[in-house]
Structure 1
């Protein structure tokens, strides 16, 4: 996955360079928390924090099947995931825009469950059955994967804004 990389000079310091996708991808893999933005059935925004793992070119997250974000994605799968630090002068904030696709394949779910546990520890261990994650508390969680359509990087300190545009899958 090699996106088109563009620096937006309007929002970048003189002499700034575009952030390489590999650096952004590593930032997505290492980030612990994300904010998911979805669209409510009435058209309003819904934003909520969650955990996610970067796997096989997609950003993956899970949510209870009855939660608002799951209901929103069922009606409109377009979404954005954001992550970054709260510092004004250092770090790289990242935004991934795409379409959330439900993951139900048992083999992929097992791989993702292992990735969750590896990243977040044994308290985030999930069982896989019936096309979903199941916690030790018994709740079912739908798993979604978002392949980037567009992504943005906002570097602080030397201030640069990078846009990555991805070719459609298939």
Structure 2
């Protein structure tokens, strides 16, 4: 998502609040060490799990094994919410991304994403690309998904604000 429409929701913001810029919101997505993924099980129950996500080319990306609950849920319903921020009350910025997860299988895209993952956590995330997925020495394939944001919410703390970013 580039140059989204940005609006402040004054109902949930301090009287003197300003909308959070897209640049500040994007910086949180780029720098987050942990992101929480919410998917929906086939019976409608939510499933939430922490993971390492990568912001690249206007989308948030994550991985999962083909047998993991995340992958099972996504096969039935691609709608997800990704959340990151901090557990403080009076400072920081929490960000929520809503959208549909789509599988990434193109080798060139996977190579670029593997390089981006290597920048996370001092290079601890090392992936090779093969057969439309990531490979590593931990186990089987890691499926890669991209979420093009349908909506991004930024919750400023301290001087409270709720900002909405949507694609133009």
Instruction: Give the alignment's TM-score, normalised by structure 1.
Output: 0.95
Aligned to 1:42: 43
Q: How does 1:106-117 map to 2 (within 5 A)?
A: 106-117=107-118
Q: How does 1:10-159 map to 2 (within 5 A)?
A: 10-159=11-160
Q: How big is the shift at 1:120?
A: 2.6
Give the unaligned 5+ runs of structure 1. Answer: none
Q: How big is the shift at 1:136?
A: 1.2
User: In structure 1, how many angstroms separate the alpha carbons of the residues matched to 2:107 and 2:56?
Assistant: 15
Instruction: Give the alignment's TM-score, normalised by structure 2.
Output: 0.96
User: In structure 2, how many angstroms separate the alpha carbons of the residues matched to 1:137 and 1:13?
Assistant: 47
Give the unaligned 5+ runs of structure 2. Answer: none
User: In structure 2, how many angstroms separate the alpha carbons of the residues matched to 1:166 and 1:39?
Assistant: 24
User: In structure 1, how many angstroms separate the alpha carbons of the residues matched to 2:54 and 2:136?
Assistant: 17
Aligned residues: 167
**CA-atom RMSD in angstroms:** 0.9
User: In structure 2, how many angstroms separate the alpha carbons of the residues matched to 1:45 and 1:52?
Assistant: 19
Cα shift readout 1:47-102 (whole Å, capped 9, x = no counterpart)? 11000010000000001111001111111101010000000000000000001010
